[in-house]
Amino acid sequence: MSLGKLLERILQLVPVLLGVSLIVFVMMALTPGDPVQIMIGDQSITPEQEAELRRGLGLDRPLVERFFVFIGNAVQFDFGTSFYHRRPVGEVIAERLPATIELSLVALIVALVTAIPLGVLAAIKKNSIFDRLATVGSLLGVSLPGFWFGILLLMLFAVHLQILPVSGRIGFSSEVPTVTGFLLIDTLLAGNLRAFGDACRHILLPAITLGLPMTAILMRVTRTSMLEVLRQDYVTFADAKGLSRRRVLFRHALKNALIPTVSVAAIETGSLLGGNMIVETVFGWPGLGRLVVESIFLRNYPLVQAAVLFYAVTYVLLNFVADILYTVLNPRVKL
Amino acid sequence: MTQTLLDVRGLRTVFETRAGRVCAVDGVDVTVQRGECLGVVGESGSGKSVTFSSVMGLVKSPGRVDEGTISFDGRDLRALSPAEMRAVRGRDIAMTMQDALTALNPALTVGEQIAEVLEAHDETLPPRGAARRAAIRAKSVEMLGLVGIPSAENRLRQYPHEFSGGMRQRIMIAIALACRPKLLIADEPTTALDVTIQAQVLELISDIRARLGMSVVLITHDLGVVAEHCDRVMVMYAGQVVEEGPTAQVIGDPQHPYTQGLLASIPRPGLRGQPIRPIEGQVPDLIGLAPQCRFYSRCTRRTDACLAPVEMRAAGPNRRARCILIEEDRA
């Protein structure tokens, strides 16, 4: 990867971010509901006070002006003040981010460690009962809505069997000092194994719910590419060399079959961002996704705008990571 | 130790397909003597590759070896377990494939692809550790040198796509020969190469055969290659052997009408300007074959007697052909 290519990628971000900003700005403005009215709620205030409040939030200015002010501030990494929290938006987001990243990473790991072995097994045992069950399972995995599947898991494990907690990241009794913001790491740093176990129990169901569609997709991709690779001459040649079955399957076949899987995984990680909003809401997970959902209801314009920009940057970067991984796995491709 | 290295009797390999059972190899006998080069010719679908995939135990589902015995170096290969067969493959019988570009794994370095054969079979290596790695490396370099790859030391960590077509073919041969097999099955080793490289690769195989004293089966559809490099030749048609014998005799005086047709269809410098004389017609569908001579529909000399099953007949000393026109008394 040359420096020029890297620069080109970063420059590509500029039009993407401008476009995303504009769309979010217009959509928020078009959404019925007024943040000032929501803030006032049932309290009775004079029209003067209301106008003062509106001016304080900068909502008295025309839409076009507000957009350019937002862009001007955003390039200086100033995303404004959250209407609701009365604190800088960047600060509020940074607070919630570790919970979301932690959940996404665990979901990704869950997806990879289940999807790849299942996909390989389905390919090796093509047309067997297992293969057919896996096919049906993956179809269900892609089609089941996350909120429904999440509630189902909650009802079974948290309400009925009562072996897993209903919501949150950790029990009150297991609080540990914040170091990284990732509870799975902080609990270990504190040397508190009981708290670590508690954090694991909390993250299990949301991670499974979030990772399910990805697991299903990655399994299909792995199965298909494994079947394709097993037909290749180099697999026959590896067999002709008298190598062990394991070496032929894993070193020769899987190494090539994983190229599409890894690319799709990196791109699909971006789609976890959207899934986060639903899963975090269902499981009461205090992350960015739930914050954005709440902010949309409160018409908290600055926060929604900043969060969506953050999602866009993350998505583009993940695509970039996918390209890099592709070249790492596939020696024939040079970016 | 007998002179015969490979002895295949009555081999039948079938593929179960939706359209019916395809008998890709039907009653094939093959013998390969020690140090000998046997040419196997026939057009696509004649069963020449499937015959030797069967020998190596590499026929993939939905295909399977249905009947016959495969005796190699005194062992019955069909009676071996999969693990025992793996120990034979790559060590005693090695194979090269038509196109080295697809036969070499694009994601693994050339060094690793040579090393893993040695790792799997070479019992002379030190048991473990740095000494073993050094020995594997030294042998890999030696093999690449043997097939004429310059500065082998540096090229071990390169990937197949970083080599030219001819070099890749050499690398594949180096991998096949790494454990000094008794038999090399070269499946169309030159088809994917241009003419000058073809000659080099064939010279290389002949040269190494002489040096290592191994036997070679050269699968090809190029009779010129056979004439130049093979001691004996076996002609296959529609899953059967139709003629076999010493190369010079078969090419100089072909007995089977199919062999005659093949030889007549080769363009020659002396016949410049004249149209090429192809064999008219198509290879029969291998599903639901009638018991008659399989060349019947395309044969210019067919008679009603050809509608009965035709067995191999002796056509002189060490020669056989599957045609009723051959007078048995010549044997």
Q: Does B88 touch chain A (CB under 8 A)?
A: yes
Considering only CA atoms, give the Rg of chain B.
Answer: 21
Cα nearest neighbour of A237 on chain B: B103
Q: B182 at the A interface (CB within 8 A)?
A: no
Q: Which residues on A lie below 8 Å from B102 (Cβ)?
A: 232-234
Nearest residue of chain B to residue A256 (CA atoms): B107
CATH of the domain at B123: 3.40.50.300
Which chain B positions have a beta carbon within 8 Å of A332's beta carbon?
A: 106, 159, 161
Shared domain for A233 and A282, answered yes or no, is: yes
Best interface-test mutation with B: which of A234, A259, A332 has the largest number of B CBs within 10 A?
A234
Whole-angstrom CA distances from A7 to A127, A298, A315, B294 are: 47, 38, 17, 67
Shared domain for B188 and B120, answered yes or no, is no
CA distance A23 to A305: 10
The confidence score (pLDDT) of residue B183 equals: 95
Rounded CA separation A6/A193 (Å): 42
Q: Are residues B291 and B254 in the same domain?
A: yes
Q: Which residues of B, range 4-23, sit inside 8 Å of A by Cβ?
A: none
Task: Give the C-alpha separation, B259 to A216, whole Å.
Answer: 56
Residue A105 CB-density burial (10 A; 0-12 exposed, 13-18 middle, 19+ buried) = middle
Flag whether pLDDT at A137 surpasses 70. yes
Q: What is the mean pLDDT of residues A13-23?
A: 86
Q: Name the residue among A234, A241, A329 with its Cβ closest to that of B120.
A: A241
Residue A9 lies in a domain: no
Instruction: Determine which of B105, B114, B184 to mutate to test the interface with A (most A C-beta atoms within 10 Å).
Output: B105
Answer yes or no: do B161 and A256 touch at CB < 8 A: no
CA–CA gap between residue A208 and residue A103 (Å, rounded): 10
Contacts of A225 (CB under 8 A, 6+ apart): A256, A257, A258, A259, A260, A261
A234 to B159: CB separation less than 8 angstroms, yes or no: no
Q: B137 and B39, same structural domain?
A: no
Predicted confidence at residue B328, as pLDDT, reads 57
Shared domain check, B155 and B83: no
Q: Would residue A26 count as lying in a domain? A: yes
Q: Do B86 and A236 touch (CB under 8 A)?
A: no
* C-alpha pair distances (Å), B158 with each of B103, B162, B163: 16, 6, 8
Q: Is residue A91 a part of any domain in this protein? A: no
B150 CA: distance to closest CA in chain A (Å): 22
Q: How far apart are CA A119 and CA A197, in angstroms?
A: 30
Q: How far is CA B30 from CA A200, B56, B64, B128, B187, in A?
A: 65, 14, 18, 40, 16
Residue A101 lies in a domain: yes
Query: Measuring CA to CA, which residue among A45, A40, A99 is closest to residue A288?
Result: A99
Could you tell me which of B314, B315, B297, B282 has the C-alpha nearest to residue B44? Answer: B282
Q: B10-34 as b/e, with b when 16 or more CB fall inside 10 Å? A: ebbbbbeeeeeebbbbbbbbbbbbb
The answer to whether A236 contacts chain B (CB < 8 Å) is yes
pLDDT digits (tens, 9 = 90+) for A173-205: 777 777 787 888 888 888 888 888 888 888 999
**Partner residue opposite A240 with nearest CB, options B89, B108, B159:** B89
In angstroms, what separates the C-alpha of B157 from chain A's closest C-alpha? 12
CA B10 to each of CA B26, B31, B307: distance values in angstroms, whole numbers, following the listed order: 7, 12, 22
User: Do both A30 and A154 map to the same domain?
Assistant: no
Q: Does B158 touch chain A (CB under 8 A)?
A: no
Nearest residue in B to A251, CA atom = B108
Please give the model's pTM, rounded to 2 decimal places: 0.81
pLDDT band at A334 (very low <50, low <70, confident <90, very high): low
> For residue B60, what are the contacts with CB-CB under 8 A and spacing of at least 6?
A236
Same domain, B142 and B250: no
Give the structural domain span for B107.
Answer: 96-180
Q: Which domain holds residue A30?
A: 18-74
Interface contact A243-B87, CB threshold 8 A: no
Confidence at residue B240, expressed as pLDDT on a 0 to 100 scale: 93
Q: What total number of domains does chain A contain? A: 2
Separation of alpha carbons B233 and B15, rounded Å: 26
B100 and B119 in one domain?
Answer: yes
pLDDT per residue as tens digits for the range A75-107: 888 888 887 778 888 888 888 899 999 999 999
Name residue B244's beta-bridge partners.
Answer: B234, B320
Q: Which of B110, B116, B183 would you mutate first to test chain A, the one with the most A CBs within 10 A?
A: B116
What 3 state SS string does chain B have? Answer: CCCEEEEEEEEEEEEEECCEEEEEEEEEEEEEECCCEEEEECCCCCCHHHHHHHHHCCCCCCEEEEEEEEEECCEEHHHCCHHHHHHHECCCEEEECCCHHHHCCCCCCHHHHHHHHHHHHCCCCCCCHHHHHHHHHHHHHHHHHHCCCCCHHHHCCCCHHHCCHHHHHHHHHHHHHCCCCCEEEEECCCCCCCHHHHHHHHHHHHHHHHHHCCEEEEEECCHHHHHHHCCEEEEEECCEEEEEEEHHHHHHCCCCHHHHHHHHCCCCHHHCCCCCCCCCCCCCCCECCCCCCCCHHHCCCCCHHHHCCCCCEECCCCCEECCCCCCHHHC
Confidence class for position A1, pLDDT limits 50, 70, 90:
low
State whether residue A251 sits within 8 Å of chain B by CB: yes
**Tell me, what's the pLDDT at B331?**
43
Q: Which residues of chain B have pLDDT under 70?
A: 1-2, 328-331
| Residue that finishes a domain, picked among A39, A74, A109 | A74
Check which CATH number belongs to the domain holding A136 and give it.
1.10.3720.10
Q: Is A244's CB within 8 Å of B104's CB? A: no
Q: Locate the chain A residue with the closest alpha carbon to B119.
A: A243
Tell me if A12 is assigned to some domain: no
pLDDT at B315: 85
Contact yes or no for B309/B290 (Cβ under 8 A): no
Encode pLDDT of A240-293 as tens digits.
Answer: 999 999 999 999 999 999 989 988 898 888 888 778 888 999 998 998 999 999
